[in-house]
């Protein structure tokens, strides 16, 4: 290994690279990681010297508070390589701001922008050979922070670890997705942590999603906790509905994550002259639209899949199949968004940032 210093970040390079053992044509999402990771610890009330070092396991005290009280947050981002080997990020400021929003909600220290952004840029430059060119090839980026302070007293930790991992990814396809509309379980509640990307939000989804899987559905469309009459998110994604020629999605709230893909699709749709209605969407109007034929599309939106079409939904043991469309709005918006991300179309919004 060799160590260097760059902009206050210590860089310890791996002695050998794992890249020669990776089949980039057959990647399983989130299972392969690059040669290096970024790490910075928070101790004694301040952030310590950051380091980029070889990817490897690390030790934690068994009483670390992340294990006992769940102080853990993360983000999902992507980097793209254009035809000229330029590396681009998509709206990284949105992810950075949301990360610190999550940190505040979970009583964790905010990560300084210099540490977050400089660490990310240097890590991507060091492992840039792992970023493959071509549309559909991306580098998935996972910044996260966990509570590392020792002790089982129920209070916030006094020590934390902030890290960034890189995972090369192909286009994320989930195949044909059928969903079950939740009638009992909820993703989040008013006053809770639904608007934060807290690890516990996702753990709480696993059980009801497993029940849906056993019933033949791939995901759950979550409903509000109070009345179960309002449609909120689909699986781990924001969700859109097209009734006639209007695209609808729920407003962000304490229960609904402020998705970067979601807000980008809304802006793109408006630019393309598509009528967008951001308001609470009721289960009853979705069922009625499915019955009278005015429901044209449902799709999820998130970093991993970008856009994930849904072919049908079940509510109160009745299944509603959606029409098969040759030229869907979901497909059009995904094409336009990924073209911007891969620098194949002009970025009129100023969303892309070069590394």
pLDDT tens column, 148-207: 999 999 999 999 999 999 999 987 666 789 999 999 999 999 999 999 999 999 999 999
pLDDT of residue 304: 87
pLDDT of residue 2: 47
pLDDT of residue 268: 97
Contact status, residue 72 vs residue 332, Cβ threshold 8 Å: no
Cα(205)–Cα(304) distance, integer angstroms: 17
pTM (2 d.p.): 0.94
Q: Quote the DSSP letter at residue 109.
A: P
C-alpha dihedral, 114 to 201 to 235 to 251, nearest 10°: -70
Output the average pLDDT for the chain: 95
Q: Quote the DSSP letter at residue 224.
A: -
Res. 5: pLDDT tops 50: no
Q: What is the mean pLDDT of residues 216-232?
A: 96
pLDDT of residue 1: 55
pLDDT of residue 302: 93
Res. 26: pLDDT tops 50: yes
327 vs 19, which has greater pLDDT? 19
**Burial status of residue 11 (CB atoms within 10 A of its CB: 0-12, 13-18, 19 or more):** buried
Cβ-defined contacts of 233-238 (< 8 Å, 24+)? 233/187, 233/257, 234/179, 234/298, 234/300, 234/308, 234/310, 235/179, 235/205, 235/209, 235/300, 236/202, 236/205, 236/302, 237/261, 237/300, 237/301, 237/302, 237/305, 237/308, 238/262, 238/300, 238/301, 238/302
Cα(211)–Cα(222) distance, integer angstroms: 14
Q: How confident is the model at residue 306 (pLDDT cuts 50, 70, 90)?
A: very high
Q: How confident is the model at residue 127 (pLDDT cuts 50, 70, 90)?
A: very high
Question: For the chain, what percent of residues have pLDDT higher than 70?
Answer: 97
Q: What is the mean pLDDT of residues 113-119?
A: 97
Q: How confident is the model at residue 136 (pLDDT cuts 50, 70, 90)?
A: confident
Contact status, residue 234 vs residue 171, Cβ threshold 8 Å: no
Output the CA–CA distances (angstroms, integers) from residue 273 to 248, 333, 338, in the order listed: 14, 12, 19
The alpha-helical segments, DSSP class H, found in the chain are 65-69, 92-105, 113-126, 199-214, 260-271, 283-292, 329-341
Res. 285: pLDDT tops 90: yes
Q: What is the mean pLDDT of residues 59-83?
A: 97
């Amino acid at each position: 290994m060799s160590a260097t210093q760059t902009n206050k970040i210590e860089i310890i390079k791996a002695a050998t690279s794992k890249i020669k053992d990776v089949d980039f044509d057959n990647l399983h999402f989130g299972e392969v990681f690059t040669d290096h990771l970024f790490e910075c610890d928070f101790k004694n009330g301040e952030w310590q010297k950051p380091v980029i070092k070889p990817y490897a396991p690390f030790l934690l005290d068994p009483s670390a508070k992340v294990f006992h009280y769940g102080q853990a947050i993360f983000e999902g981002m992507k980097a793209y390589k254009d035809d000229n080997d330029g590396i681009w990020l998509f709206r990284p400021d949105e992810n950075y701001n949301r990360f610190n929003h999550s940190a505040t909600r979970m009583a964790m220290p905010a990560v300084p922008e210099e540490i977050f952004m400089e660490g990310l840029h240097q890590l991507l430059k060091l492992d840039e050979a792992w970023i493959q060119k071509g549309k559909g090839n991306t580098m998935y980026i996972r910044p996260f922070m966990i509570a590392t302070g020792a002790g089982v007293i129920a209070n916030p930790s006094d020590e934390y670890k902030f890290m960034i991992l890189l995972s090369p990814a192909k286009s994320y396809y989930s195949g044909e997705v059928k969903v079950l509309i939740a009638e009992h379980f909820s993703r989040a509640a008013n006053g809770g942590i639904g608007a934060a990307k807290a690890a516990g939000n996702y753990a709480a989804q696993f059980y009801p999603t497993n029940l849906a899987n056993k019933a033949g559905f791939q995901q759950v469309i979550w409903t509000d906790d109070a009345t179960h009459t309002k449609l909120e998110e689909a699986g781990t994604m924001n969700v859109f509905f097209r009734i006639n020629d209007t695209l609808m999605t729920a407003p962000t709230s304490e229960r609904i994550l402020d998705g970067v893909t979601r807000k980008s699709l809304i802006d793109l749709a408006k630019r393309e002259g598509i009528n967008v209605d951001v308001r609470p969407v009721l289960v009853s109007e979705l069922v009625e639209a499915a019955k009278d034929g005015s429901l044209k599309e449902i799709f999820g939106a998130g970093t991993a899949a970008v856009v994930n079409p849904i072919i049908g939904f079940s509510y109160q043991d009745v299944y509603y199949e959606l029409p098969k469309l040759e030229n869907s709005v979901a497909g059009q918006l995904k094409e336009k968004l990924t073209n911007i991300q891969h620098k194949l179309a002009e970025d009129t919004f100023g969303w892309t940032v070069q590394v």
